Structure 1
Amino acid sequence: MKVLIAMDSFKGSLSSIESSTAIAAGIKEVYPHADIEVLPLADGGEGTVEALVNATDGTLVTIPVTGPLNETVKATYGILGDGKTAVIEVAEACGLPLVPYGERNPLKATSYGVGEIISDAIEKGSREFVIGLGGSATNDAGIGMLQALGFCFYDMNGEKVGIDGQSLTDIWSIDLKQVNPMLKECRFRVACDVKNPLYGPEGAAHIFGPQKGATPEMVEQLDKGLKHIAEIVLDTLKTDLNQIEGAGAAGGLGAAFSSFLHADLQSGIELVMEIIEMEKSMQGADFVITGEGKLDGQTSMGKAPLGVAELAQKHNIPVIALAGGITEETAVLNKLGITSYFSILNQPMTLEEAMDSKVAYNNLRATTNQLFRLIQAVRTTVKI
């Protein structure tokens, strides 16, 4: 029997590797000689670096960079097994968890550190980049990141503007003369699963600003800034930022990557599965096991388990999904490629208890064990 395990993380509890290890242990207790292949998974958000580095036998690099509030933080990114592809989660440099709750203010937050990571990877020889957007504390349309890469933004007096969200309305002109020349040799593929435009009622400030600490007044100021830089870019680069699907991702970093760095914005899970060559690993599999901490309506909108299920469906491979929590909305997944799904909780417990790493590990292992005992019994009885 061949089983492919492609798990996303149980955020706050188990990494994708740890959850996969628990599932593999449960299978081996029933099928000691099973051929088990593990592909740690992510959808472009948290855990993408770890998943891709492990899947390709790559390496991790940790460097000091400018954090969201202009402080120094340590950021980790990966270099894949090919030695030339860097994988970066922007949240490592400008993530919301890096900002204490009481200090969250997207007017003052910057993405400068993201540019520093890219520069470091270029110096180390990377020319291919995989970028995971999501979880940012910023709303600076990427001008922080771009300034770290040599793009210059000036005010009406010819002075360089700041590197944060409140500086957007000060921009009067853009100078490309000091841009890192190596960027011309670089290709950026960006995992972006939101379709929001840069500005407007559905834009970065209105939709994502409040969760980053923006008051209603701040939202209006930020939205005005995003619209302003779009006008400057349209005049300078002849690119209409607000026509780019996903431009509003990560506080406008989607717009910066797409227009200034000519990046391809694509589905996070599809990008990850392409890099780890998941379809090749599925060949000959009897079962695919996927899952994440919670299966709900969001899962059906492009998260990792759905991507795995859709690919497996092409090859008529049964898919089992495991999760800590499951909502009524999850039922739609049965029509989208997931054969059956199960909660791993085996008794009433608090969320804190369920998320304890040891408890979650044992619940995953035990649930998998029981599922494969059932599979074994059916196979023996029906003689499949």
Structure 2
Amino acid sequence: MRVLVCPDKFAGTISAPGVAEAFAAGWLAEKPGDELVLRPLSDGGPGFVAVLAAALPAARRLTVPTTDPLGRPVEGEVLLDGETAYVESAQACGLHLLAEHERDPNHTTSFGLGPLVLAAVEAGAREIVVGLGGSATNDGGAGLLAALGAAPLSAAGYALPYGGAALAACESLGGVPRLREAVLVAATDVDNPLLGLSGASAVYGPQKGASREDVFTLDGALTRFAAVLQDLPTAPAGLAELPGAGAAGGLGAAVLALGGRVESGIGLVRRLTRLDDELDRAALVVTGEGSFDEQSLRGKVVAGVANAARDLGVPCVVLAGRVDAGRREAASIGVTEAHSLVEHFGSVATALTRPGDGLRELGQRLARQWSR
């Protein structure tokens, strides 16, 4: 039996390659004669560059020193494939880079993404694909713009402090972004606008440490900043309301304001990894992510894989740390069945500390159930 295993990461516990390898080890322990094809995926969040590097063997990886959401030194990567570069915002802005007590989107910054983009420009890239997801920031890309040479300024002409809250005092940008005509592409499957009840602050702010009061403060600050971004000659009309503008704490809005576009992250990864070719040859596809919930149904890795499997008539099994999506909703996107580590272990704590063991055990169980 040919089984395609193509999960996303389980955020905070195990990487996408780790998920695939653990599940495959369990399956093959039970059914060693089966063929398992491993294609770890990403929709633009953590793991984006690593997934594409495996799919593009001719591309080269360039290590770039940068900073994390609190300005501390970290290293990121640029993946160069001809005149196209791929960067991952989470390498500089990721929530996983902060301890829980450090998470505060009032002050965290997207500045660290700037050196990655600038390194891509210096390497000669004409198109820079920025994977968006898993961010600790809510600054509308203000930090990124500052790193590119267009710092947000107060009415008195002073550079504003980093973080989302300070943008309430933004009146202008102090320069022109240095992109040398390179085009930015935001790779994301988040379709949220920048502002309002479905916006970056309200939906994702609490995950990044924002209190209820912070959410109102941040949304108001982004409202002010959106008006400043709208003045850029490359900004599209109605910038704040566009799908994807709220991705990664508003980094999507900054990309759009710089004349860039939003593209489906899982769609791009599917194309570059030739996932549909593998789907066409598979008897079963197994995908997954940390939490299979309502957000998963709106276009993340699981939805992208399940939709493609459904169109080809291939059954699709979802593995997750926890499953909160209803069966009917899951079936509507092509999911045949879903299994959670929390249910498997009967404990959230064990699911978080022993994901590899649980995935191997689920692999064995599903091999007995599905293998011919």
Larger Rg: 1
Equivalent residue for 2:128?
129
Output the amino acid matched with 2:16. S
The answer to whether the Cα contact below 8 Å between 1:248 and 1:254 also exists between their aligned partners in 2 is: yes
Q: Kindly provide the CA deviation profile for residues 133-192 of structure 1, in whole angstroms up to 9, marking residues without a partner as x.
A: 23333232212101211225444444444443344244333455x43242x133423214
Counterpart-to-counterpart distance in 1, 2:301 and 2:210: 30
Q: Offset of 1:273 from its aligned partner?
A: 1.5
Output the amino acid matched with 2:243. E
TM-score for both structures, normalised by structure 2: 0.85
The answer to whether the Cα contact below 8 Å between 1:40 and 1:55 also exists between their aligned partners in 2 is: no
Q: 1:199 to 1:324 in 2, by over 3 A?
A: closer
Equivalent residue for 2:367?
372
Q: 1:59 to 1:24 in 2, by over 3 A?
A: farther
Whether 1:229 and 2:225 are equivalent positions in the alignment is yes
Q: 1:187 to 1:34 in 2, by over 3 A?
A: same
Equivalent residue for 1:249?
247
Within a 5 Å distance, the mapping from 1:21-40 to structure 2 comes to: 21-29=21-29, 31-40=31-40
- Percent identity over the alignment is 36
Q: Offset of 1:118 from its aligned partner?
A: 0.9
Counterpart-to-counterpart distance in 2, 1:139 and 1:301: 21
The answer to whether the Cα contact below 8 Å between 1:55 and 1:276 also exists between their aligned partners in 2 is: yes
The answer to whether the Cα contact below 8 Å between 2:189 and 2:300 also exists between their aligned partners in 1 is: no
Return 5+ residue gaps in structure 2 as ranges: none
The answer to whether the Cα contact below 8 Å between 2:292 and 2:325 also exists between their aligned partners in 1 is: no
Output the amino acid matched with 1:48. F
The answer to whether the Cα contact below 8 Å between 2:86 and 2:130 also exists between their aligned partners in 1 is: yes
Within a 5 Å distance, the mapping from 1:47-58 to structure 2 comes to: 47-57=47-57
Equivalent residue for 1:284?
281
Q: 1:224 to 1:371 in 2, by over 3 A?
A: closer
Counterpart-to-counterpart distance in 2, 1:322 and 1:334: 14
348-357 vs 269-278, which moves further:
348-357
307-316 vs 151-160, which moves further:
151-160
Return 5+ residue gaps in structure 1 as ranges: 380-384
What is the RMSD computed on CA atoms of the aligned residues? 3.0
TM-score for both structures, normalised by structure 1: 0.82
Whether 1:296 and 2:293 are equivalent positions in the alignment is yes
Within a 5 Å distance, the mapping from 1:1-384 to structure 2 comes to: 1-29=1-29, 31-57=31-57, 60-69=61-70, 71-79=71-79, 82=81, 84-174=83-173, 176=175, 178-182=176-180, 184-196=181-193, 198-215=194-211, 218-237=214-233, 239-260=237-258, 262-327=259-324, 329-343=326-340, 348-357=345-354, 360-376=355-371, 379=372
Q: Offset of 1:216 from its aligned partner?
A: 5.2
Counterpart-to-counterpart distance in 2, 1:317 and 1:104: 41
Output the amino acid matched with 1:373. R
Q: 1:278 to 1:170 in 2, by over 3 A?
A: same
2:108 partner SS? coil
Q: Offset of 1:93 from its aligned partner?
A: 1.6
Q: Kindly provide the CA deviation profile for residues 15-49 of structure 1, in whole angstroms up to 9, marking residues without a partner as x.
A: 22122123333443455443432111122223323
